[in-house]
Amino acid sequence: MKISIVGTGYVGLVSGTCFAQMGNSVVCVDIDEKKVKELRKGIIPIYEPGLEEMVFGNHKNGSLRFTTDIKEALDFSDICFIAVGTPMEEDGSADLKYVLAVANSIGQNIKRHTYIVDKSTVPVGTADKVRKTVQEALDSRGSSLTFDVISNPEFLKEGAAVEDFMKPDRVVIGAECEKALSVMRELYAPFVRNHDRFIAMDIKSAEMTKYTANAMLATKISFMNEISNICERVGADVNQVRNGIGSDKRIGYSFIYPGCGYGGSCFPKDVQALVKTSKDHGYTPKLLDAVEEVNFAQKRVISTKVIEYFTEDLSGKTFAVWGLSFKPETDDMREATSIIVINELTKRGAKIKAYDPKAIKEAKEFYLKDNQNVDYVTSKYDALDSSDAMILLTEWKEFRSPDFEEIAKRLKNRVIFDGRNQYNKKQLEKYGFEYLQIGVG
């Protein structure tokens, strides 16, 4: 099938590449000329396991192309995916200006019936706005061309996005006519061949499904973090509690690991957007408000522990930070806890020696670029030299079984603050460490 995808960010690039991998002809569009030039060379703007090789291979064989010209892409394709960003406004709502700008361009440039697919994460009712925008553009041309608007939310996990797309848990499609559903069934057939995971519904329900899924997962995380804070105060161990409840099939083990808060591009933005949508329609979602409040506080738990241990004035103190990205297997630092922890400590006079396998460039160039009290190192052990304590914030695999003798040798004080509960307290006590983790009284 002939597909165009507008937007070569996380969702657009992964989607376009995976569609091409299955034999479709794909043109990806982006207004950033530098990015398009780099993509043509096989240089991708994000880190995602397995993606770079797929982009290079499919571009080389001609099934995946990149352009800055949306007209060229629409002339080529029958299906056009909108996969541009929907950044969060100050009031928590999703900013649809990029989505609607693309919709206008589609209306100005299509030459035949086109299936327009909302792939961006958008609030309920966005498809109606896209339809209205496209129709207005067609009317301004005096055109009688027809089109269909379809909702196809993405459910990709950063760090496992390629696998999630190639072997999806489900493919959710919201459409108003059987022909549009039939086209999407054909497109996704290779991805759901082994099991029928194609779920058809009305458009507004499809739009709501994405937000509901992320809100549910965020709720599980905040719930467990709330329990961890209670455990600390009553003398219980949240890790043992997690094992006790996770064995219940009704609960399960997924997303009940206590930690220092969730981040990334999805959970914070989507929960707040759902709260805003709800309030706009006259309902106050008390549970979702609480989910965000708990997460806001949880991101500050580790810095609070450090301050309580070393006192408010951290002048002359240096801390080794292991992990900058909001989760492992990605370089994404959007809404990462590391930003808050590092800024809270440095504004009290501390110095930071930071290490992350993939996110150092992001930290230097964007998220911590104005913080002059952060030094970046190329080895996790180098971060420890002359540091007063170690702080673990991201559960990268290479942090799971470190050489504790080496850590003890390099640190000035044998103190570890663990925001992801990665280690065994008794094991660390053998080496003389003070181990301060989440949710253990």
Tell me the Ramachandran region of residue 359: left when phi exceeds 0, alpha when psi lies from -120 to 50, beta otherwise: alpha
The rounded distance, in Å, linking the Cα atoms of 171 and 19 is 14
Q: Which residues contact 321 (CB under 8 A, 6 or more apart)?
A: 338, 341, 342, 352, 353, 354, 355, 383, 391, 393
Task: Select from 243, 287, 246, 295 the least CA-distant residue to 267.
Answer: 295
- Look up residue 228 and give its amino acid: S
As annotated, the active-site residues are 266
Ranges of H-type helices in 319-389: 337-346, 360-362
The rounded distance, in Å, linking the Cα atoms of 70 and 74 is 6
Task: Select from 80, 83, 79 the least CA-distant residue to 30.
Answer: 83
Beta carbons of 263 and 335 less than 8 angstroms apart: yes
Q: Which residues contact 50 (CB under 8 A, 6 or more apart)?
A: 162, 163
CA 404 to chain centre: 31
The rounded distance, in Å, linking the Cα atoms of 302 and 342 is 10
The rounded distance, in Å, linking the Cα atoms of 409 and 88 is 45
- Segments of 380-441 assigned E as strands: 389-392, 415-418, 434-437
Tell me the Ramachandran region of residue 313: left when phi exceeds 0, alpha when psi lies from -120 to 50, beta otherwise: beta
- Look up residue 422 and give its amino acid: Q
Give whole-number Cα distances, 68 to 133, 158, 187, in Å.
21, 26, 24
For the record, the structure tokens of 389 come out as 């304590």
The per-type count for the chain, helices as H runs and strands as E runs, is 17, 14
Residue bearing tokens 């070393």: 310
Question: 398 by DSSP, 3-state: which?
Answer: helix
Neighbour tally for 418: CB within 10 Å: 25
